[in-house]
Amino acid sequence: MKEKILKQVKDSKVKFIKLQFTDILGVMKNINITADQLEKALDNEIMFDGSSIDGFARIEESDMFLYPDLETFLILPTKLSGDVVEARIICDVYNANREPFNGDPRYILKKVVNEVASMGYEINVGPEMEFFMFKLDEQGNPTLNPSDQANYFDLSTTDKAHVVKREMCLILQEMGFEVEAAHHENAPGQHEIAFRYQSALKSADNIMTFKATVKQVAEAHGLYATFMPKPVFGLAGSGMHMNQSLFKDGKNAFYDEKDAIGLSKEAYHYVAGILKHAKGTSLLTNSNINSYKRLVSGYEAPINICWATKNRSPLIRVPASRGNGTRIELRNPDPSCNPYLAFAGVIAAGLDGIKNELIPPTRIEGNTYEFTKEEAKDIEVLPENLKMALNYMLRDELIKETLGEHVVNCLTNATNEEWDNYRKIVTPYETDKYIYL
């Protein structure tokens, strides 16, 4: 594989290679090397200062190594790299002692995926990525003026957003994505591009690549793409529905044709596990202050911890497809999350359900947004804000064990700092409401 990559770089006249990795907060990091340094990189000899990355290493133990995952090597489309040919490789992070860094989100997901394999399964994840595109002001800064005025599934061939989204899909296909569908979402300027499910690790890698690519293409057309969960008050927020399926011996382990709704025991247990740990995983699936502005009643985002097959108001929906297409759809994640940590937490929760043969509550097919207090009295709800989500995570032993002490401490510190800053800020809402009192 190493020799094949070196030959590709030479034959394609690649000049620069981006060595990419993701920090604990879900931000993609990048080290650029020239092509003549590639062999050194493929031998795992590229170092960086871990103390400069939030939550990675203390200054006295800052030397860290990048270990490229050779399967992720990709020569970037010319529309992204311009006249200079570039490539990228996604990397794992190792300590100076050449051991995997326990704060590397990709390593944490890998451990969970290995646990899935030890139980005889393969886990696939298919994300549905929603985002807004806004116009820029005269200084090139993003505004809240949407790129279009369309609505759900509207066909508009005249606005700029249509052209930009079409180019996004073509470039993603060139990068190896199997784009299944692209459509306009509920709010003006809001879009969704869904790509085919992959293994959990590959899917998390794809999400990071997708977000960077969408932003870059939008910028090239004078627009700004954002994965902020709720950028505009009064409009729907952007989600990242997480479709999951387990396979065993090439067959979908969630499917049982003899069951009344076509689900296997594993599927019921897996659903029960996710519901049990839904509060504990919220900090991972909805990781910032703004995430909880989306998780409110009335905008199709879930707030109730329940499941269904025929409506989209509960936390988990089981789409109608059966056979190898059987899957569960978790609806609360948003696209600002760190996909490696979100996947790790949710999958670990599902596995807990299987291991302990947990039984889910009776599924609910009514619109939970319209339930009376009496009808909803036995249904738990997701955390209402970031601070609550942190507290629930710290009470969930399974999630803490999955993440490890280092990541738990880093997330705790970062969340407390964000919450403390947020609670001190005087917002326009407050000045508008109280200035004349």
Is 380 among the residues known to form the active site? no
Is 395 among the residues known to form the active site? no
- Helix locations, 102-239, DSSP H: 105-118, 160-174, 200-220
Is 294 among the residues known to form the active site? no
Q: From the candidates 43, 45, 49, 370, which is the catalytic residue?
A: 49
Answer for the pair 303, 381: CB distance below 8 angstroms, yes or no.
yes
Cα–Cα distance, 272 to 44 (Å, whole number): 41
Is 192 among the residues known to form the active site? yes
Answer for the pair 336, 288: CB distance below 8 angstroms, yes or no.
yes
Q: From the candidates 23, 104, 148, 192, which is the catalytic residue?
A: 192
DSSP state of 255: B
Q: From the candidates 130, 266, 334, 352, which is the catalytic residue?
A: 130
Q: From the candidates 128, 256, 266, 352, which is the catalytic residue?
A: 128
Is 331 among the residues known to form the active site? yes
Cα–Cα distance, 410 to 283 (Å, whole number): 12
Cα–Cα distance, 307 to 317 (Å, whole number): 6
Angle of the 278-285 helix axis to the 386-395 helix axis, nearest 10: 130
How many CB atoms are closer than 10 A to CB 150?
A: 22
Cα separations in angstroms, 87 against 5, 10, 15, 213: 10, 12, 8, 13
Tell me the β-bridge partners of 183: 192
Q: From the candidates 69, 159, 219, 329, which is the catalytic residue?
A: 329
Residues in the chain, total: 437
Is 375 among the residues known to form the active site? no
Is 45 among the residues known to form the active site? no
Q: From the candidates 241, 294, 317, 327, which is the catalytic residue?
A: 241
Is 241 among the residues known to form the active site? yes
Q: From the candidates 86, 104, 148, 185, which is the catalytic residue?
A: 185
Is 185 among the residues known to form the active site? yes
Residue 323, burial from CB neighbour count under 10 angstroms (0-12, 13-18, 19+): exposed
Q: From the candidates 92, 122, 219, 312, which is the catalytic residue?
A: 312
Residue 106, burial from CB neighbour count under 10 angstroms (0-12, 13-18, 19+): buried
Q: Which residues are catalytic?
A: 49, 128, 130, 185, 192, 241, 312, 329, 331
